[in-house]
Amino acid sequence: MSQINRNAAQLRATIVGNKLVGQYHQILISVGDLVDRCKPGNFVAINVGGDSSRMILRRAFAISRVAHSASFGGTMELIVAPHGQGSKWLCSQPEGAIIDLVAPLGSAFGIPTEPVQVLLVGGGYGSAPLFGLAEVLKTRGCKVDMLLGASTAGKIYAPMEGKRSVNSLRIYTEDGSMGIAGKVTDPITELISDLDVAVIYSCGPMGMLSAISALTESTDVVHQCAVEESMACGIGICMTCVLPVRNSDNSISMLRSCIDGPVMDGADVMWDLVGKNPLVQP
Amino acid sequence: MSQINRNAAQLRATIVGNKLVGQYHQILISVGDLVDRCKPGNFVAINVGGDSSRMILRRAFAISRVAHSASFGGTMELIVAPHGQGSKWLCSQPEGAIIDLVAPLGSAFGIPTEPVQVLLVGGGYGSAPLFGLAEVLKTRGCKVDMLLGASTAGKIYAPMEGKRSVNSLRIYTEDGSMGIAGKVTDPITELISDLDVAVIYSCGPMGMLSAISALTESTDVVHQCAVEESMACGIGICMTCVLPVRNSDNSISMLRSCIDGPVMDGADVMWDLVGKNPLVQP
Amino acid sequence: MTAVDFSTTFSNAWFPTPLFTASGCASSGKELAQFFPLKDIGAVVTKSIMNKARLGRPTPRMAETPSGMLNSIGLQGPGIDTFLEKDIPWLIEQKARIIVSIAGETVEEYSTLARKLRAVAGISAIEVNISCPNVENRGLVFACDPEASRKVIDGVRRTIGGEIPIIAKLSPDVTDIVSIARGVVDAGADGLALINTVLGMVINVSTMRPHLGGKTGGLSGPAIRPIAVRAIYQVHAAMPHVPILGMGGVASGRDAFEMILAGASGVSVGTASFGNPMAIPQIQEELKALLAEKGFKQLKDAIGYAHRSDETHE
Amino acid sequence: MTAVDFSTTFSNAWFPTPLFTASGCASSGKELAQFFPLKDIGAVVTKSIMNKARLGRPTPRMAETPSGMLNSIGLQGPGIDTFLEKDIPWLIEQKARIIVSIAGETVEEYSTLARKLRAVAGISAIEVNISCPNVENRGLVFACDPEASRKVIDGVRRTIGGEIPIIAKLSPDVTDIVSIARGVVDAGADGLALINTVLGMVINVSTMRPHLGGKTGGLSGPAIRPIAVRAIYQVHAAMPHVPILGMGGVASGRDAFEMILAGASGVSVGTASFGNPMAIPQIQEELKALLAEKGFKQLKDAIGYAHRSDETHE
Ligand SMILES: Cc1cc2nc3c(=O)[nH]c(=O)nc-3n(C[C@H](O)[C@H](O)[C@H](O)COP(=O)(O)OP(=O)(O)OC[C@H]3O[C@@H](n4cnc5c(N)ncnc54)[C@H](O)[C@@H]3O)c2cc1C
Ligand SMILES: Cc1cc2nc3c(=O)[nH]c(=O)nc-3n(C[C@H](O)[C@H](O)[C@H](O)COP(=O)(O)OP(=O)(O)OC[C@H]3O[C@@H](n4cnc5c(N)ncnc54)[C@H](O)[C@@H]3O)c2cc1C
Ligand SMILES: Cc1cc2nc3c(=O)[nH]c(=O)nc-3n(C[C@H](O)[C@H](O)[C@H](O)COP(=O)(O)O)c2cc1C
Ligand SMILES: Cc1cc2nc3c(=O)[nH]c(=O)nc-3n(C[C@H](O)[C@H](O)[C@H](O)COP(=O)(O)O)c2cc1C
Ligand code: FES
Ligand code: FES
């Protein structure tokens, strides 16, 4: 047996909750024992459109949290933005609908062995996995501060119960409709030194991740980011989801963000080369 | 304006009833004033599979009956066999579902101007339009006898209320599970002379229609049959649904069964040439 | 609403909108007239007509495939004389703009058809279908042979004179569509129609035999759209000044816009009308809205826009 | 259950079942092993490997299309040496049957690859990918040029000797696939893999530019199945004794059966595994059930069955 996808299973699972939170759908799925294998950072790949769909590929969503509930057993929560046809289909599924999913997939956020100061930065629905991560970090004694940003208030996902695990939460919106007007990356440099941040965990648009990598470049801060590339398979067999990553010998590898990610070390990702031709042949 | 499709309209309509009758689904659709333009023999073309469906073509179904109901206004009834993916999708639609349809399409059964003896022959779901036809014929003073056949009992569609308009109804099943064991075409020759049949109206599998045409060939009986060919458009623009029909000058035309049919004169259809290369060029 | 100039031209032929029917997917127009006035769309491209009447291929003539369909009609039709007598006057009466599609079995037949069309008033352009994959012998598909393609267009050009624009309709079933395109443009085509159907087959697993009466058929519908967009893009890159009538799986304003960005000056809609008789006017409105949304003042500015490098894009 | 003899052969290579992965759609096998034991399917066809390591094309490398997808990977891979060192031993350990797919930029590169494979134990066959449409210059696609195709296969045949069967993988983007097929068979191919992806393009209507980093990409999935079935049927009709590995949009046992009836001795499943990691074992079971239902005692009897005329059909 290979180590790749070693926790993954395919199963037909029932949607047990679907409610609108801001501009997102909070979707709860009953997945049984699978929850025990899910770690913050992992994602799920879901079939969309039903039996006679012209959409042939799965859609990837970060696992926001997992829980054990009395009525539904193990549950997995997703925060889904109705973007195109596939995600809209998922958002339109009623409670009781059965979906076909593969999970957990991909790498998870690395958890520090020491109780250090960490900063969680989420953009849009990127905040989804951060609350589950915050819980884990808190149980390990880390001090957890959080920044969330989006273009507008409706795209901020910050559930009440999630806030319990964080020391502070600051919200930024570009249009100023919620929290501070500005970008979530604005205060990072200052916070790094003020709080003495050891690790930044980030999840959100690629531009945000790349900006954080630039900010942490000349610092000692470790930047663990969950990337998002177009994915055809989610399990490592198609090579569509690659990102240029610098190896220790300075050569470049095109790593699959579905199995070598989505969580990657932000310092290794060659952000400038994403979507470009990595001319250099190793 | 052309005369082709002159009664047809496209509309989004609500399914107001869907119940299992034997192996068929009896589907009731609220279509408003459209019912006034529907005649026995006409059909409806329905979009299947929803917005992201890989099924790009409409499915054709005979309009079984139309009615005015207090709660739903004008309604159209279909008798649908769950055959392939498209018809199964339609059969799975719950009450309240909205479907996109085009109707009424195609030719209608011709109604005799005199009150004559007629025989209605239906195979499988082919009986669907015959009950509506029987009502019309009865109001014109015709004497209506009916034969229904199918391979097995579950494929006989013979609603209680439909039987009111017919003088006699005989059922044939090939496996003998209902009515007389045998083929619906078995008694036709005898009935023609016993009852002095002037017109046979038939709807069912092509083999049945062709057999009836053979039986009526050397008689004076008019045979109006509703044919069924694979259709891509249902409105006369694709030329996929053609049947070889003999013209008065003995030349052959390939007529579109969607606009020159589905009701055709059985004596004109060149049954032997259906699905063959009509070598002769006019 | 912003007033987008929605008009387009193919050589000297002007059309108020870029949405046309696709040949063979609107018969001669009469059948669709119940659903929308034919004068409201850019043009009616009529079903390819041959010199003599033709019965076509045996049924079944269609098979639905994932997001597509196969057809095997075999150019059934009444012949050019009946067509000119019955269909053209009716279309003129409707104030429709008319593009007549012609098909032949020999170079002569194409010239004969052109001769019969030369004197007919009210025709905006001629589409020369040299690419129908449904003729008896695949070896005889003109559009798959550069030399034969040129000869057909050359013959039509000489016969028709310089008045009526000729649009040569090509098959995607070739190794190098650009070279075929160059050949027919050199021979006198004013524009190109891209693409005809892709040769395909479905086997009926019940009978365990080819499903279609004609065995093979032409694949159309959304399934082939990426092939069509690629062909349009390649040909427009090679010959940016030759107007292209794009087609293949267009079913929405977004799809039509994609073809225009790739380099199409007009867009034909075929199979989509089978699933939705109102497809063309609906696509037309969607496209107009999209152009306005993207800030285009005229359709012409969007044609081939995908070829601009980001540098030249302000 | 009736015991259908499900085995198939390509020249001297024997496989217990006719269901294989498709090259480039199973990486080197490790990624799928979590979902089913690789030894349970007919064979693992590995991602086309080149002589040197390669980074491939820029992202986005995929676009979903109606019932299909475009990919533009550009043959990313570790190079043959690393591949032989790391992947082959692992696959052998899994007791998987292995078909190694090779790709090159020159005739020499193919021969070099063959030389490196000659001595490797545990390989059932070599698939020679002469048809990848994702290389930088479309003019260089070997499979579109009969002469270049022959040369590649000839070189590989001479280098590899007579032991390991060679399966030449062809592109559908040609005017006459039968003549290309004849050429490579003459040059020494033992079997043919049909079809590779169809060249396509999607334009992103937001950016108004080609969506893929590599601009064009290869179309795969159910959308292209009718094209694949047609190609298999045509080639089997012309050369009934040459075994064909059929592929292109197979997603169910019914689809695999269709290809076998058309003339395929084996069926590769590519894109379907993206949507369903269990696709191959599921299709395998469905096909087995279908063969039994149709009364076939052995798979071999169904191969090319659609070509039998009704006369010879008892
Ligand atoms: C690891 C990972 C985690 C994600 N987590 C979430 C999440 O928690 N919540 C959420 O709302 N969305 C998330 N996304 C994005 C989500 O996958 C896309 O919004 C979705 O695939 C869009 O599908 P569509 O059919 O609605 O859109 P379309 O644009 O119609 O999709 C077309 C194709 O492009 C792919 N695609 C389009 N956008 C993206 C994208 N942003 N990322 C990857 N593939 C894309 C689709 O999968 C599909 O194959 C995540 C993506 C990845 C890769
Ligand atoms: C004028 C007319 C009236 C009909 N009336 C009825 C009716 O009252 N009740 C009923 O159950 N069925 C009726 N049919 C048959 C019905 O149209 C088919 O069963 C249905 O189209 C099958 O679609 P599918 O997706 O389930 O099957 P599939 O086999 O998956 O369909 C594939 C394609 O073939 C076409 N097709 C398949 N079978 C037929 C067929 N028998 N006739 C025409 N096209 C076909 C479909 O439209 C579709 O495009 C009628 C057909 C016609 C032409
Ligand atoms: C049923 C049918 C009949 C067609 N007949 C013709 C024809 O007579 N002449 C022609 O040039 N193209 C013909 N075509 C091809 C279409 O004009 C068009 O090029 C092709 O279908 C792709 O467009 P679409 O996907 O929008 O249908 C036909 C297509 C279909 C589906
Ligand atoms: C993402 C992707 C990568 C592919 N890579 C290769 C490759 O490296 N070598 C090759 O011969 N074919 C490659 N192919 C083509 C497939 O092997 C197959 O021929 C084609 O996809 C049609 O089959 P399908 O529809 O089942 O995917 C690739 C296809 C896809 C979708
Ligand atoms: S999505 Fe297929 S390899 Fe990552
Ligand atoms: S179904 Fe299209 S012409 Fe009859």
Q: Which CATH number does the domain housing residue A213 bear? A: 3.40.50.80
Domain final position from B76, B105, B134: B105
Which chain C residues touch A if contact means CB-CB below 8 Å? 66-67, 222
Given a contact as 3+ CB pairs under 8 Å, which chains touch D? A, B, C
Give residue C131's pLDDT: 79
Confidence of residue D141 (pLDDT cuts 50, 70, 90): confident
Query: With contact defined as beta carbons under 8 Å apart, do B74 and B36 qualify?
Result: yes
* Residue B4 domain flag: no
Q: What is the DSSP track for B43-78?
A: EEEE--S-TTBS--S-EEEE--EEEEETTTEEEEEE
Task: Give chain A as a 3 state SS string.
Answer: CCCCCCCCEEEEEEEEEEEEECCEEEEEEECHHHHHHCCCCCEEEECCCCCCECCCCCEEEECCEEEEECCCEEEEEEEECCCCHHHHHHHCCCCCCEEEEEEEECCCCCCCCCCCEEEEEEEHHHHHHHHHHHHHHHHCCCEEEEEEEECCHHHCCCCCHHHHHCCEEEEEECCCCCCEECCCCCCHHHHHHHHCCCEEEEECCHHHHHHHHHHHCCCCCEEEEECCCCCCCCCCCCCCCEEEEECCCCCEEEEECCCCCCEEECCCECHHHCCCCCCCCC
Residue C311 pLDDT > 50? no
* Residue A281 domain flag: no
Whether residue B79 is found in the same domain as residue B145: no
Whether residue A154 is found in the same domain as residue A267: yes
The count of domains in chain B is 2
Residue D162 pLDDT > 90? no
Whether residue A210 is found in the same domain as residue A264: yes
**Which of B51, B52, B54, B85 to probe by mutation at the D interface, max D CB count within 10 Å?**
B54
pLDDT, tens digit (0-9, with 9 covering 90-100), for C40-69: 999 999 999 999 999 999 999 999 999 999
Q: Exposed/middle/buried for B85, CB within 10 Å: 0-12, 13-18, 19+?
A: middle
Q: Locate the DSSP E strands across chain D.
A: 8-10, 13-15, 19-21, 44-45, 62-65, 68-71, 98-102, 123-129, 166-169, 191-194, 198-201, 203-204, 209-210, 216-220, 244-246, 266-269
Whether residue B121 is found in the same domain as residue B96: no
DSSP label at residue D11: T
Return the percentage of chain B with pLDDT > 90, whole number: 90
- Is any ligand 5 atom within 6 A of the Cβ of residue A231? yes
User: How far does residue A192's CA lie from ligand 4's centre (Å)?
Assistant: 47
Residue B274 pLDDT > 60? yes
Give residue C2's pLDDT: 54
Distance CA D81, CA A172 (A): 51
Residue B27 pLDDT > 90? yes
Mean pLDDT along residues C164-193: 96
Return the percentage of chain C with pLDDT > 90, whole number: 88
The one-letter amino acid code at D132 reads C
Nearest to D232 by CA among D268, D200, D281: D268
Neighbours of D2 (CB within 10 A): 11
Domain final position from A105, A127, A152: A105
C84 close contact with D: CB closer than 8 A: no
CB < 8 Å from D in window 124-183 of C: 144, 173-176
Distance CA A116, CA B75 (A): 70
Residue B278 pLDDT > 80? no
pLDDT, tens digit (0-9, with 9 covering 90-100), for B37-70: 999 999 999 999 999 999 999 999 999 999 998 9
**CATH class of the domain defined by C8-57+74-199+218-313:** alpha beta
Tell me the catalytic residues of C.
132
* Residue B280 domain flag: no
Neighbours of C241 (CB within 10 A): 6
pLDDT, tens digit (0-9, with 9 covering 90-100), for A82-113: 999 999 999 999 999 999 999 999 999 999 99
Query: Which residue among the candidates D43, D73, D132, D250 is catalytic per the annotation?
Result: D132
Q: Taking CB atoms and an 8 Å cut-off, how many pairs form between chains A and D?
A: 130
- What are the extents of the domains in chain D? 8-57+74-199+218-313
- The first and second tokens of residue A66, run together, are 């997992």
User: How far does residue A236's CA lie from ligand 5's centre (Å)?
Assistant: 4
Locus of tokens 């693409």? C195
The one-letter amino acid code at B81 reads A
- The first and second tokens of residue D234, run together, are 């045509």
Nearest CA to ligand 1 atom 37: A230
Q: Locate the DSSP E strands across chain B.
A: 9-21, 24-30, 43-46, 59-62, 65-69, 73-80, 98-105, 117-123, 143-150, 168-173, 180-181, 199-203, 222-226, 242-246, 252-256, 263-265
CB contact under 8 A, D223 and C173: no
Return the percentage of chain A with pLDDT > 70, whole number: 98
pLDDT, tens digit (0-9, with 9 covering 90-100), for C204-213: 999 999 999 9
Please report how many Cα atoms fall inside a 13 Å half-sphere around the Cα of residue A263, on the Cβ side: 23
pTM, full prediction: 0.97
- Domain with residue B83: its CATH number is 2.40.30.10
Distance CA C43, CA C37 (A): 11
Q: Where are the alpha helices (DSSP H) in D161-203?
A: 177-186
Give residue D198's pLDDT: 97
Mean pLDDT along residues B83-107: 97
Determine the structural domain holding residue A135 and report its residue range: 117-273
Atom of ligand 6 lying closest to residue B257 CA = 4
pLDDT, tens digit (0-9, with 9 covering 90-100), for D86-101: 999 999 999 999 999 9
- The first and second tokens of residue D271, run together, are 């894109």
Atom of ligand 3 lying closest to residue C129 CA = 11
CB < 8 Å from D in window 34-73 of C: 63, 65-68, 70
* Residue A176 domain flag: yes
Distance CA D190, CA D210 (A): 39
> Residue C128 forms beta bridges with which residues?
C102, C168
DSSP label at residue D30: T
- The first and second tokens of residue D61, run together, are 């490398």
Domain final position from B57, B78, B105: B105
Give residue B282's pLDDT: 38
Residue D138 pLDDT > 70? no
Distance CA C198, CA C215 (A): 14
* Residue B101 domain flag: yes
Distance CA D43, CA D125 (A): 10
Please report how many Cα atoms fall inside a 13 Å half-sphere around the Cα of residue C235, on the Cβ side: 37
Nearest to C95 by CA among C140, C33, C157: C33
Give residue B6's pLDDT: 93
Whether residue B87 is found in the same domain as residue B152: no
Give residue D314's pLDDT: 35
- Is any ligand 5 atom within 6 A of the Cβ of residue A234? yes
Neighbours of A276 (CB within 10 A): 12
What count of residues does chain B have?
Answer: 282
Whether residue B124 is found in the same domain as residue B55: no
Return the percentage of chain D with pLDDT > 70, whole number: 95
Angle at A5 between CA A2 and CA A11, to 5 degrees: 125
Distance CA A243, CA A229 (A): 8
Angle at D8 between CA D5 and CA D12, to 5 degrees: 135
Residue C136 pLDDT > 80? no
